[in-house]
Amino acid sequence: MSTWIPLALLALAALLPLAAAVLRPRAARGRREADMALYRAQLAELDREKEAGRLDEAGHRAARVEIQRRLIAAADQMEAATTAARNPALLVAVLPLIAAGGLGLYLLRGSPGMPSAPYDLRAEAMARDEQILATLRARLDALDPRSEQARQGYVLLGNAERGRGNAEGALAAWRKAIEARFDPELAGDIAELEIVRGAPAEATAWITRALAEAPAEPRLRFLAGLVEAESGRPANARTLWQALLAESPPDAPWRGMLERRLSALP
């Protein structure tokens, strides 16, 4: 019986990122909405490929089922994030129940001996995604890069590339989107990804420009402190984060995270 205790703890730990999403509900919802828009665009592209005779019925049906599955999953995640943002206490109460329910379902119906999906199926899915993204890139190349339509398309492309773990592709797409129209929130996304890939100097320019348009934005102010901390200037980071903490409402969802970051500074 004691064997299942670590497994239950691992299941609960695996759900902690969902709780962390409460700290940034607006940005998370925006990304999920963009992902859902991308999946809808993929469905429309599949229909066009079938009508043009470049995709047979079986391939069209299989690809459509897979994209619809992702669309439903994205919609469920967006609804869960919205509910959690409205009631963080509910999320804290439900997380252990989700972990326990998942463990119970696995004990009843799980198949630990079942092999993972064959490589050729995974490769086929990846190739299909790449084909759809290649079509999106081709359509974007035909648009006026300064148009709002192109800007939205590059935002979607960047979100998709980030989701695939392609940081360079995401940054390239987002930079094209921001050239069409500057958006402080998107600049924050670029800065955050630059920090994650170990380039705080590149992030600084984006944060500075974004703060010039949205000086009170908590996320941007946090990222400004994070750049200082990552650059070996903890005193500057402390000054920035203490100012943000002092101006944050008592019920601000980021207060706990900010306090932990401050206490971790040397």
* Mean pLDDT calculated for residue range 180-194: 94
Over the chain, what is the mean pLDDT? 74
- pLDDT at 256 > cutoff 70: yes
What is the three-state SS of the chain? CCCHHHHHHHHHHHCHHHHHHHHCHHHHHHHHHHHHHHHHHHHHHHHHHHHCCCCCHHHHHHHHHHHHHHHHHHHHHHHHHHHHHHCHHHHHHHHHHHHHHHHHHHHHHCCCCCCCCCHHHHHHHHHHHHHHHHHHHHHHHCCCCCCHHHHHHHHHHHHHHHHCCCHHHHHHHHHHHHHHCCCHHHHHHHHHHHHHCCCHHHHHHHHHHHHHHCCCCHHHHHHHHHHHHHCCCHHHHHHHHHHHHHHCCCCCCCHHHHHHHHHHCC
Query: From CA 91, how far away is CA 89, in angstroms rounded?
Result: 5
- pLDDT at 26 > cutoff 50: no
What is the CATH code of the structural domain delimited by 190-266? 1.25.40
Of 125, 120, 123, 103, residue with least CA distance to 112: 103
pLDDT for 160 equals 86
What is the CATH code of the structural domain delimited by 127-181? 1.25.40
What is the three-state SS of 69-94? HHHHHHHHHHHHHHHHHHCHHHHHHH
Query: From CA 89, how far away is CA 251, in angstroms rounded?
Result: 12
pLDDT for 212 equals 96
Confidence of residue 90 (pLDDT cuts 50, 70, 90): very low
pLDDT for 131 equals 81
- pLDDT at 13 > cutoff 80: no
Instruction: Return the higher-pLDDT residue of 125 and 110.
Output: 125
- pLDDT at 30 > cutoff 50: no
Do 127-181 and 190-266 agree at the fold level?
yes
Domain parsing of the chain, residue ranges = 4-100, 127-181, 190-266
Instruction: Return the higher-pLDDT residue of 254 and 36.
Output: 254
Q: Mean pLDDT lowest for which of 130-134, 150-154, 155-159, 198-202?
A: 130-134
- pLDDT at 66 > cutoff 80: no
Contacts of residue 80, defined as CB under 8 A and 6 or more positions apart, other chains included, come to 18
